[in-house]
Structure 1
Amino acid sequence: MTGSGLRLTLVETRGPLAVAAVGGEMDLHTAPDLRRQATALIGDHPHLILDLSGVTFCDSSGLNALLRLRRHAGENGGRLPLAAPTDRITRMLRLTGADTVLPLHADVAEARAARPSDVR
């Protein structure tokens, strides 16, 4: 996905699991594209790991997009763990309590290891 400073790159798919790398800014202008692209991925791969190591900025619109994607994944029998969030994003998730519903992992390997065995 390109446009407005945000990229969503599909890194891997394996059955119900997909890994996608997010890069750039998650804000009012880019959050709708992120939601649209990730929602499409969740349709085929309800267990979506988002690698946030390339995200340079995230505002409340980006947070809202993540929470909506988490709900969509859950409605499809999946989960939305976040891998490698920056310190700023981790802080925002903890301050808002979103870390209680969005699993945070140091990297993609850790997020994958935390998955149920049938979706690794």
Structure 2
Amino acid sequence: MKYSKQKVLFELQNRLIEDNRKLVLVKTQISTKERDKRLAELTKRELSALDKDTRTYKSVGKAFFKTDLSLLMTELDTRVTKAETDLKTLDKTKQHLERNINESQNALREITYIRG
């Protein structure tokens, strides 16, 4: 009986460590996506102030290619939409991991209380 409690305790601790590692990664991804979204929104705002016939260029690696302003605006809209979708998915994942962490911590407290 004692061995099974130790095994359960070990598995809970490992799951808690793994979920915490995943949570840190998801939070980093959320931060990156928010930054990308803000950058696209700011760029779009600056480009919208330009005249329609203004020459615009798109960076492709180290090169710049002349690109139509409307194409740049569409691309930025797509980036913002994709970032918003990704943020929703990442937020759901974050909530799921936080719930798992809380459940694991509660289970560890119960096992520790029972063992004591």
- TM-score bin, normalised by smaller chain: under 0.3
* Bigger helix fraction: 2
Greater relative CO, 1 or 2 (CA 8 Å, sep 6+): 2
Please report the TM-score for the alignment, with normalisation by the length of structure 1: 0.22
Larger radius of gyration between Structure 1 and Structure 2: 2
TM-score (norm 2): 0.23
Which structure: greater strand fraction? Answer: 1
